[in-house]
Amino acid sequence: MNIDSFLFDKKFWIVRHGLFWMAMYLDEFLSIFGLTEPISESWTFFLGLLLDVVMVYFNLYYVIPRFFQRSKMATYVSLTLLTLMLNVVILTAVSYSPNEDYTLFYDIFSTTLVTSGLLGIAIAIKVSKISYLRQQRLNDLQQLQLNTELNYLKKQVNPHFLFNVLNNMYVQSRETPKEVPETIMKLSELMRYQTYDAAKEQVSLKQEINFIEKYLDLEKMRREFLHIEVEKEGDFNNVAVPPMLFLPFVENACKHSTLTTGESEHIRIKWKHNIPKLVFTIENTIGNRRGHINDAQYSGFGLENIKKRIELLYPDKHELSIKEEGGFYKVKLVVSS
């Protein structure tokens, strides 16, 4: 076990939090072994501990994720101060007793100081952890993007796909020569997008869909029995996505839908944008690779690589399901902005 594993691995959660509370209540903890003054009023101590626990975990697991991490700082500060004040008021109300040595002001001030220190330390630890994990995620994403770019440079266009397109263009040139220039233009635009736009961090959703549609047009040209339905719902203006986000699923649908029986092959694709969610669904008839949905060579990437890329791009902001149902492979990807 290394230090990073101890600090960030979920399986050490209880140990980390136990050490935190022991450190915050060190004097009381040591009193158990007779090393410090014994606790005078145990019920007051346990009430204070309960209030501190509720205050800290409410802040760490509710207020920070919903407001601090979403840059709603005014709401975050207000809720933090409110819970701090509530903690101090309750504890002072039940524990304060008039004393010639300690005034009410002194009691409130000292309780506020101690409670603020405890909460401040907890928040500092949480924010530091968030910052560290965010940087690690960024590093992982950059490395994955680099590997993806290298992979695309090695195989800008699938040679087998390119061979079939060129072969069909040859047939076109003899049977319907007027259609050849349009086919060449589509292939050129496809290659241009893969060469230049795929290197960007973000592209417009319209560009990405346009690329997918051209890819499917060329796929249909070489497959007589392939039927493709593409549906778009919602406002796609000013919507950006990472390039090639959907292509692995489209490639997979094309590959797995191929039949040798002469039956109809179907691919259905839908994009639905409803702020803040973008929903992408694709389904295809099951072809000659029935039962291989978890194939390690899934679309040339590997299923785990696809999942990892989406996880890094949309941490805690996505849902991905891939299943075989009713004679179709079905993929549903939901991402939130």
Distances (CA, A) of 158 to 209, 237, 253, 298, 305: 19, 31, 15, 14, 18
Gap between the Cα atoms of 160 and 300, Å rounded: 13
Least confident of 19-23, 32-36, 231-235, 281-285: 32-36
Average pLDDT over residues 110-125: 92
Counting residues of the chain whose pLDDT is more than 70, the rounded percentage is 85
Per-residue confidence (pLDDT) for residue 169, from 0 to 100? 80
Say which range, 17-31, 198-212, 286-300, 314-328, has the weakest mean pLDDT: 286-300
The distance in angstroms from the start CA to the end CA of the chain is 36
**117 pLDDT more than 90:** yes
| Predicted pLDDT of residue 156 | 47
Report the alpha-carbon distance of residue 105 to residue 263 in Å, rounded.
Answer: 85
Does residue 131 surpass a pLDDT of 80? yes
Q: Give Cα 221 to chain centroid, integer Å.
A: 36
| pLDDT-wise least confident of 106-115, 218-227, 274-283, 300-309 | 300-309
Q: Where along the chain do the CATH 3.30.565.10 domains lie? A: 155-336
pLDDT at residue number 108 = 85
- Residue written as token pair 């136990």: 18
- The CATH H-level (homologous superfamily) assignment of domain 155-336 is Histidine kinase-like ATPase, C-terminal domain (3.30.565.10)
State residue 244's pLDDT score: 83
Query: Is the pLDDT assigned to residue 302 strictly greater than 90?
Result: no
Q: Please tell me which residue, 305 or 78, carries the higher pLDDT value.
A: 78
pTM value is 0.56
